[in-house]
Amino acid sequence: MSEVWVLGDGQLGGMLKDAGRRLGIPVRVVDPADIEAGERLAHADPLCITAEREHWPDTQCTRALLAHPRWRNAPAFAALADRQSQKALFDQLGLPTAPWCPVSADADVESLREALGGEFLLKQRRGGYDGRGQWRSQLAREATLPLWQTEAIAERCIDFTTEVSLVGARNRAGDRVFYTLTENFHAGGILQISVMQPGRFAAWQAEAERCHARLMSHLNYEGVLAIEFFVTPEGLLINEVAPRVHNSGHWTQAGASISQFELHLRALTGMPLVTPLQPGCSVMVNLIGRDADRAALALAGTQRHWYGKQPRPGRKLGHLNFFHPQASEAARWLQALPLSPDFQASRAAALRSLAQWDNG
Ligand code: ATP
Ligand code: MG
pLDDT of residue 358: 60
Mean of the pLDDT values across residues 168-174?
98
pLDDT of residue 327: 95
Has residue 357 got a pLDDT over 80?
Answer: no
Reference 267, options 179, 168, 181; nearest CA is 168
Mean of the pLDDT values across residues 111-126?
95
Please check whether residue 94 lies inside any domain of the structure: no
Shared-domain flag, residues 188 and 260: yes
Shared-domain flag, residues 206 and 346: yes
Ligand 1 atom closest to 242 (CA): 2
CATH number of the domain residue 282 falls in: 3.30.470.20
Q: What is the pTM of this model?
A: 0.96
Shared-domain flag, residues 152 and 171: no
pLDDT of residue 360: 46
Per-residue pLDDT tens digits for 82-109: 999 999 999 999 999 999 999 999 999 9
The overall average pLDDT reported for the chain is 95
Q: For residue 111, what are the domain limits? A: 99-156
- Give me ligand 1 centre to Cα 236, in Å: 15
Shared-domain flag, residues 138 and 227: no
Please check whether residue 313 lies inside any domain of the structure: yes
Largest CA distance in the chain: 59
Per-residue pLDDT tens digits for 195-254: 999 999 999 999 999 999 999 999 999 999 999 999 999 999 999 999 999 999 999 999
Who surrounds ion ligand 2 at CB < 5 A? 228
Q: For the chain, what is the domain count?
A: 3
Please check whether residue 139 lies inside any domain of the structure: yes
Which residue from 134, 157, 250 has its CB within 8 A of the most atoms of ligand 1, so it is best to mutate?
A: 134
C-beta contacts of 317-320 below 8 A and 24+ residues apart: 317/287, 317/288, 317/289, 317/290, 317/291, 318/11, 318/286, 318/287, 318/291, 318/292, 319/247, 319/250, 319/284, 319/285, 319/286, 319/287, 320/284, 320/285, 320/287, 320/292, 320/296
Has residue 323 got a pLDDT over 50?
Answer: yes
Has residue 141 got a pLDDT over 90?
Answer: no
Per-residue pLDDT tens digits for 266-317: 999 999 999 999 999 999 999 999 999 999 999 999 999 999 999 999 999 9
Distance, CA of 283 to CA of 321 (rounded, Å)? 6
